[in-house]
Amino acid sequence: MDHMLELGSAMSRFAEIVGKASGDETVPACPGWTVRDLATHLGTIHRWAAATVLCGQRLHEPEVLVTEPVVEWYAGTATALLSALQAVSPEEPVPNFSYVGETAAFWARRQMHETTVHTTDAAQAVGIDEADWGVAAAVAADGIDEVVQVFFPRMTARRQRPDVRSRIRLIATDVQQSWLIAPGTGDFGPPIELHPSLDADGSVSGTAVELYLGLWKRLGPERLDFEGVDGRILFDGPTTP
């Protein structure tokens, strides 16, 4: 997957939605936030990621003074991030918050999913029909990979370990892809991914988008098919920040 291409597309879609919004719409998945808050958050994250990529150092998220109109300010941060990522090799060593895959390529992928999820937030806030959210199945499948490989360990490190009690197979019914998740080692190890050819104790099935947005708590678990109880326990509990 071309993460840079998908990132640019997601940024354009986000800016399009924000540009048509009043800014005061509430964001269902982010209690207390408006669309303006959402744009401020995403633009700030873009600036932070761009600075990290260019300097190659671990940085704190900046305190940002947003200029008006916010959609134009957001577009500037998006351009800055794309330019920063284009200025370095994808293999260039760049730190990240997860300590996993510490190259510039991590940030193209991470920001693509950050923007995709928040574009869904913006679409939900302004009442765009789900069929028009624009999340591709391939993007969603890649996002499930990222949740399992990056955020399950990240959540565990933050003392919010995903509740995996047995071997659970996640099945994306539309892309013929699956992920086998198992409990971690001991009391503190993060859930681990096993080879999909191994046996599972239960399963969670849905489209790639339903699984992806379910893990990010943007769609409810009622959209998914559960075999056994442990998959529902996983999706009801902490899976992403």
Task: Report the CATH number at residue 183.
Answer: 3.30.1050.10
Residue where one domain finishes, among candidates 109, 132, 155: 132
Average pLDDT of span 154-162:
95
Report how far residue 241's alpha carbon sits from residue 227's, in angstroms, rounded to the nearest whole number. Answer: 26
pLDDT value, residue 186: 83
Residue where one domain finishes, among candidates 107, 132, 157: 132
More confident residue, 83 or 66: 83
Percent of the chain exceeding pLDDT 70 equals 100
Q: Has residue 65 got a pLDDT over 90?
A: no
Q: Please report whether residue 161 resides in a domain.
A: yes
Residue corresponding to tokens 């098919």: 225
More confident residue, 163 or 60: 163
Q: Has residue 61 got a pLDDT over 90?
A: no
pLDDT value, residue 187: 78
pLDDT value, residue 174: 96
Q: Is the peptide bond before 69 cis (omega within 30 degrees of 0)?
A: yes
Give me the chain's average pLDDT, please.
96
Are 172 and 223 in a shared domain? yes
pLDDT band at 147 (very low <50, low <70, confident <90, very high): very high
Are 124 and 92 in a shared domain? yes
Are 146 and 31 in a shared domain? no
pLDDT value, residue 113: 98
Q: Has residue 91 got a pLDDT over 90?
A: yes
Average pLDDT of span 105-130:
98
Average pLDDT of span 118-140:
96
Are 119 and 36 in a shared domain? yes
Instruction: Give the residue among 128, 110, 131, 140 at the shortest CA–CA distance from 27.
Output: 128
Of 47-51, 61-65, 97-101, 206-210, the one with minimum mean pLDDT is 61-65
Report how far residue 191's alpha carbon sits from residue 189's, in angstroms, rounded to the nearest whole number. Answer: 7
pTM of this prediction exceeds 0.85: yes
Q: Has residue 16 got a pLDDT over 90?
A: yes
Are 7 and 126 in a shared domain? yes
Backbone angles phi, psi at 26, to 5 degrees: -80, 150
Q: Please give the tally of structural domains in the chain.
A: 2
- CB-based contacts of 138: which residues, under 8 Å, 6+ apart? 1, 175, 208
pLDDT value, residue 202: 97
Are 68 and 148 in a shared domain? no
Q: Which domain holds residue 19?
A: 3-132
pLDDT band at 188 (very low <50, low <70, confident <90, very high): confident
Q: Has residue 58 got a pLDDT over 90?
A: yes
Instruction: Give the residue among 208, 212, 216 at the shortest CA–CA distance from 238.
Output: 216
| CA 86 to chain CA mean position, Å | 21
Q: Residue 170: beta bridge partners?
A: 179, 204
Q: 235 near 221, Cβ under 8 Å?
A: yes
Q: Please report whether residue 72 resides in a domain.
A: yes
Average pLDDT of span 3-14:
98
pLDDT value, residue 185: 87
- CB-based contacts of 59: which residues, under 8 Å, 6+ apart? 48, 51, 52
Residue where one domain finishes, among candidates 73, 99, 132: 132
Rounded to the nearest 10 degrees, how much is the dihedral formed by the CA atoms of 195, 200, 202, 204?
20
Are 169 and 220 in a shared domain? yes
Q: Please report whether residue 137 resides in a domain.
A: no
Q: Please report whether residue 241 resides in a domain.
A: no
Residue corresponding to tokens 């991470």: 110
CATH number, domain containing residue 21: 1.20.120.450
Q: Please report whether residue 179 resides in a domain.
A: yes
Are 103 and 218 in a shared domain? no
Q: Residue 178: beta bridge partners?
A: 171
